Amino acid sequence: MTTKATSLHYSRRHGIPAAFAVLTALILVASCSSSKSASSKSTTASTPAGAGGSPSMSASGAGAGGSASAGAFTPPNLSGQTIRISEGSAPQVEDTRLYLMTQILQSWGAKSSLVNQTGDPAAVRVVLAGDAEVGSIAVTGVINSGLLTFGPSQPRLDYHFIGAPSLKSLSDLPGHTYGTSNTHGVEALMFADLLAKNNIKPSSVKVTIAGGASERVAAMLAHHLDATFVHIGDVPKLTQAGFNDLATMSTVAPELADSVVAADPKWVKAHPDLAVAVDEAWLMAAQLFNSNKQQWVAAAVKYAGGSDADASAVYDNFKAANSFPASKDAFTSDGATKQEQLAKQVGAINQQPPASQWVTEQYWDQAVQAMHIS
C-alpha cells in the first residue's frame, strides 16, 4: 500500500516545475531555483479579492514555525480534482486554517470549498453521504463513524468553559443546564473529562443541544443556558457581560486535540495523493499562521467577518498556545490513540477498534517529507 500511494502521489506531480509564482494572495511559494526551471511553465492562480496583500514566505517552510530542511516544495497538480472539507460550525475566526487550506488547494488546481454544518455529527454525516470528501472532526466522531483520520486539523484545544454569573466555580454546576452542539464530539469528551476531574456526577447536570458556537454564545447572553464551551475568541464577550471563565481546556486536558482531518477509508485508498495534498495544505496554512499575522488576520476577516482587532486577539491567543505547529509531531497515531483511550474511559465512543482501522500516519509522513519538514 505504501508503494502504491507513493507512486500515485508523485505521478500527480509530474510536469509541475520546481519554480512557481504566487499561488494566492495568501501564500507566496518559492521562486525558481535555476534558469532552466525559470523557463518552465508556472502554476498560478488569481488573487482573491479582499484577501489582503502578498506575504513573503518560502514554501520550503523556513522561518514558518517548523523546522525545514533545504529544498523547494513542488506543489501537486490537482487540476480536475474536488476536495470539499466539512466542518461542524458556521464560519468563525477560529477555523481560518480550514479556509486557508481550501484557498491553497484551489491554487493547486482543485475545486475546494468548506461545507459548514452545525455540530460534529452533522459534519460527519456530510462526509458519509458523499457531499464532502474530507471532514474536520473530533477523534470520537472518527471512531464512532468508521472514518479514517490521516492528519491534523486543530492539534490544540481553544475552548474555555463559561458559566453564568451565578456560577462562581465548577462545584456550582450541579442542578444547572449545560448547552452543547453534540453528545459525541470533542465537546462531549471535554465535558465528560471536566466532570470526572472535578468529581461531578453527570446525572446532576441537565444537558441540552444548543447549536454551534455562535448560537451557544447568543443563548448564554440571553440567559437561556447556565454553562457551555466557547472558543477563545468569544471569552471576552461573555466575561465582560458578567459571565465567569471556569476552565481553560488546553490546561485542564492537554492530552486532547480539538479535531483531525478524516475521510471514508475507501476514498483515502482510492485517492492517496489527495490525502497527502490535504496534509500539505494544512502544513502550508500552519506555516502562514506562524510567519505572517497580518495575512492570517486578513484571511480570518474575509472568511468569518468581524474586525481586524477581534481576529488579531484570537490570533495572539492561538499563537501563545502554539496552536498550529508546522512540525511532524502536530499529528501522531500515538497521540490519537491516547485520546481514544480517554474517550473510551469517559464513554464518548461506542467501540475501541484497533488503531490501524481508524488512524494512519502514512500520508502525513509523505506530506512532511515533501514539504521538507525535519
- The model's pLDDT over 152-195, given as tens digits with 9 standing for 90+, comes to 999 988 899 999 999 999 999 999 999 998 887 788 889 988 99
Domains recognised in the chain with CATH numbers: 76-156+258-368 (3.40.190.10), 159-252 (3.40.190.10)
pLDDT, residue 158, reads: 86
- The model's pLDDT over 228-253, given as tens digits with 9 standing for 90+, comes to 999 888 899 999 999 999 999 988 88
Q: How far is CA 66 from the centre of its chain?
A: 17
Residue 69 neighbours by CB distance under 10 Å: 12
The per-residue DSSP string of 177-200 comes to EEEES-SSSHHHHHHHHHHHHTT-
Residue 317 contacts residue 232 (beta carbons within 8 Å)? yes
The list of the chain residues with pLDDT below 70 reads: 1-71
Please state, in angstroms and rounded to a whole number, the distance separating the CA atoms of residues 340 and 63: 33
Give the N- to C-terminal CA distance of the chain in Å, as an integer: 24
- The model's pLDDT over 277-316, given as tens digits with 9 standing for 90+, comes to 999 999 999 999 999 999 999 999 999 999 999 999 999 9
Please state, in angstroms and rounded to a whole number, the distance separating the CA atoms of residues 143 and 115: 21
Closest CA to 320 of 330, 312, 328, 332: 312
Closest CA to 288 of 83, 91, 107, 84: 107
pLDDT, residue 71, reads: 65
Measure the CA angle with vertex 284, ends 107 and 212; round to 5°: 90
Between the alpha carbon of residue 346 and those of residues 192, 276, 337, the distances in Å are 6, 32, 14
